[in-house]
């Protein structure tokens, strides 16, 4: 059963805590992405990685960190420095280093109180 998995589906944290969102793909895709979605807004790119051990900041990288130690995994850490962390987080992958269509995971809804 191929695809992208994100876990957990819902995540609750207290303010001031770091939290790591999981993203795994078994599609053998080179590129992986993290987007954030807020109500009434489009998806905004946080970080992306086109190859293992390399990643670039997106438009809203402040307060987030990532790693890409394995091709199939691209975890996102939401740090306490992120001012408005409550959002729907979407991970995606793409077959090629150059942009192709994106395959999205089911998303993680993070609530920080």
Contact residues for another protein, defined by CB under 8 A: 4, 31, 33, 35, 40-43, 45, 48, 50, 58, 88, 90, 92, 94, 97-99, 101-107, 109
Torsion of CA 41, 107, 62, 72, to 10 degrees: -140
Least distance between another protein and beta carbon 73 (Å):
17
Query: Which of 48, 41, 105, 110 is CA-nearest to residue 82?
Result: 110
> What does the alpha-carbon distance between residue 105 and residue 54 come to, in Å, rounded to a whole number?
21
- Minimum CB distance to another protein smaller for 17 or for 100: 100
- Minimum CB distance to another protein smaller for 41 or for 113: 41
- Minimum CB distance to another protein smaller for 18 or for 59: 59
Least distance between another protein and beta carbon 103 (Å):
7
Contacts of residue 17, defined as CB under 8 A and 6 or more positions apart, other chains included, come to 80, 112
């Amino acid at each position: 059963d191929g695809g992208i998995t994100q876990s957990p589906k819902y995540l609750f944290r207290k303010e001031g805590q770091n939290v790591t969102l999981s993203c795994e793909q078994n599609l053998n895709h080179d590129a992986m992405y993290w987007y954030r979605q807020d109500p009434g807004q489009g998806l905004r790119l946080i970080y992306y990685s086109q190859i293992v051990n390399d990643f670039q900041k997106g438009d809203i990288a402040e307060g987030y960190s990532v790693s890409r130690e394995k091709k199939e995994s691209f975890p996102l850490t939401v740090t306490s420095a992120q001012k408005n962390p409550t959002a729907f987080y979407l991970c995606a992958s793409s077959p090629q280093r150059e942009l192709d269509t994106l395959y999205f995971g089911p998303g993680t809804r993070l609530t920080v109180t």
